[in-house]
Each structure stands twice: as C-alpha cells, then as structure tokens.
C-alpha cells in the first residue's frame, strides 16, 4: 500500500513553476540560497545534476502549495514520468 506522499508524487506536474531553496549556513560551503524555475522539471534537473550538494544541505523545492525535500526531489528525478533527458556518465 502506498503512503499519501507517494501517491502525490506519482501525480506530480513537472510543468508547474518551482522554487528551489537551501537553508542559510555559515562558512565556505557552496550554497544555493534561492532560485526560481519556469518548470519543476528544470528545477529538479538543476538540483540533481548541477547542484549535487543539495542532498547534504537542508534543501527543498516549492511547487504551488507543495514542498519537497531533497530525497523527494531525487525520487521525482528518478521517476519514469520525469520528462527531460537525464545526463549520462
């Protein structure tokens, strides 16, 4: 049986605008801060392919009223429904 959150992810709209954020941290660590994307698919690709540190940071993506943590972002990227070509290699 799937949990409520898993069902929501299966019906995810990758075309919706999205915001990607990380918590403020002190020190020299690479930080994203805040970025807006035209589509959630673009935000997800950036988070996973261009900003891999997102997994170790307190990061999240906001799509409409829904908020997704770094593990949920990764699951959306790995989903068969993800509409963009994934980077290989």
Q: For the whole prediction, is pTM greater than 0.85?
A: no
Q: If we measure between CA atoms, which residue out of 38, 42, 37 comes closest to residue 84?
A: 42
pLDDT at residue 86 in the model: 92
Residue 2's alpha-carbon distances to 9, 22, 70, in angstroms, are: 11, 28, 20
| 3-class secondary structure, 54 | helix
Owner of token pair 């930080």 = 31
Question: For residue range 31-83, what is the model confidence (pLDDT) as tens digits?
Answer: 568 899 999 999 999 999 988 776 667 789 999 999 999 899 999 999 999 99
pLDDT at residue 24 in the model: 64
Q: Say yes or no to pLDDT of 8 above 60.
A: no
């Amino acid at each position: 049986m799937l949990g409520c959150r898993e069902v929501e992810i299966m019906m995810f709209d990758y075309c919706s605008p999205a915001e990607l954020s990380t918590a403020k941290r002190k020190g020299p660590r690479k930080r994203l801060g805040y970025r807006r994307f035209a589509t959630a698919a673009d935000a997800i690709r950036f988070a996973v392919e261009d900003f891999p540190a997102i997994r170790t940071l307190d990061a999240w993506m906001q799509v409409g009223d829904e908020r997704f943590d770094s593990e949920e972002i990764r699951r959306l990227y790995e989903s068969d429904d993800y509409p963009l070509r994934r980077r290989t290699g």
